[in-house]
Structure 1
């Protein structure tokens, strides 16, 4: 979502606000580099991607929403003033959906492997700082990952997603334009929503997406920015 939002960023406020991003891939499936001591203690205590490390402050910014808001401070069309509060609220609500639950429903093996990896590390001679980070990560897995895979939580998540998608479809239909809120170019909300639409289709849950949003997604995903970011790949690691 961050990479696509940045690809759609538009013009910076001025030359001094231009941002260059150097991407550093993190192998999260087999090598699980996000669980290394360096990553969890120095880069992102959540042990997740994405994370943005600004060179001026050096203080990492985790979470897609926070990174997007940071970038939008330099690129106004990402969250334009005309509808900025609505866009921020809807991005927040969109991320209220557990993408993890949709992606890994009925497939707990990946998260169980992460848990086992962390518990194995706890038995090794590691630093106190790393041990504390692992404790926090294990608690996060319990609260943020395992908890959302229960049948009750999954049902609630699907109901919430369906309601929000219906609202967004109505918003799109109300404007009758390629982008939400009748904007001339896509905002950060469009970027995040389009990736969610693609994720649902990639994991076989296209039923979550209303027809109008599917058509909106198809058009955007034929654009050069989408191809630049995705390069023919899926949004899901599965």
Structure 2
């Protein structure tokens, strides 16, 4: 193991963020098969750093200036690299570059198209209840509260103003019934297509069959179907896909990610900071051994 280079990363995430869950589940699926250092070129050490979005830690000065200017999660930070990967799908493809079995070449085109269609669906619209019109109550007033202060730096103020512009223009629209209806239509069409694909490959443990094994498509569809169910919209998913997702949630992999909880925060869970260890030093990192690139053509 002396010649294996360690790459240290921090995944900034929130326990009930759909896109954080997608990345965390993908890492868990990789972990199942990347524990051996035999033939490895690198050891990817990923430490999870939970952000307390209930107390607006995502717009804390240290986060919005040094980690993610959009004040969103998830974000992957690589030690020694000032750049940040601030989009969940980009994080997924970054991991696929190191673990190509997640994106089998023969299925790459269709996986990329399906994931593009998935991320075209507005996550807020598929999560919240249908409303008759845009409502402002989904916008967190914390940004306005921070901007009202006269003791913040010009750079921090500029970042908060950009965050406010995005939230004010985006969040109310996402709650409008027109956009909720559109998201439901997109979801139903996408999940119907994926269900057909699943059945074509035998309706086994994984969407593309057991021979392909878990791919990045599985890692994103299981959390998404679960979110659709948790939001009371199970009618949008074909029964075969609901059974597939339920089987995957019955595995220890899902329990590691969600610990038996819904993908949507519920009042009975209490404050996130009281339920989870929010320390920057814990838990220990997950180590994924990155295989050496194959010298032959597949």
Structure 1 Cα separation of the partners of residues 137 and 233 of structure 2: 19
Aligned length: 235
Match of 1:127 in 2: 153
Pairing partner for 2:143 from 111, 114, 118 = 118
Shift of 1:97: 1.2
Q: Provide the rounded CA distance (Å) in 2 between the counterparts of 1:72 and 1:11.
A: 13
1:110/1:32 CA distance change after superposition, 3 Å: farther
RMSD: 1.9
Q: Does the alignment pair 1:226 with 2:254? A: yes
1:67: Cα distance to partner?
A: 0.7
| 1:41 to 1:203, Cα distance in 2 relative to 1, 3 A | same
Matched, 1:215 2:243: yes
Using the TM superposition, give the Cα deviation of residue 109 of structure 1 relative to its aligned residue in structure 2, in angstroms: 7.2
Is 2:136–2:172's contact at 8 Å kept on the other side of the alignment?
Answer: no
**Cα contact 2:130–2:176 (8 A) shared by 1:** no
The aligned counterpart of 1:11 is 34
In the TM superposition, 1:92-171 aligns within 5 A as: 92-105=116-129, 111-112=138-139, 114=140, 116-125=141-150, 126-171=152-197
More strand by share: 2
Q: Which runs of 5+ in 2 are unaligned?
A: 1-21, 267-298
**Displacement of 1:85 after TM fit?**
2.2
Alignment of 1:180-195 (within 5 A): 180-184=207-211, 185-195=213-223
* Normalised TM-score (structure 1): 0.91
Deviation sequence 1:73-99 (CA, Å, 0-9, x none): 111122122212221221121111112
Task: Select the structure with the greater relative contact order (CA < 8 A; seq sep ≥ 6).
Answer: 2
- Secondary structure at the residue paired with 2:47? coil
Give the Cα–Cα distance (whole angstroms) in 1 for the partners of residues 81 and 60 of structure 2: 23
> Bigger radius of gyration, 1 or 2?
2
- Give how far 1:23 is off: 0.6
Maintained 8 Å contact 1:17/1:74: no
Match of 2:47 in 1: 22
TM-score normalized by the length of structure 2? 0.74
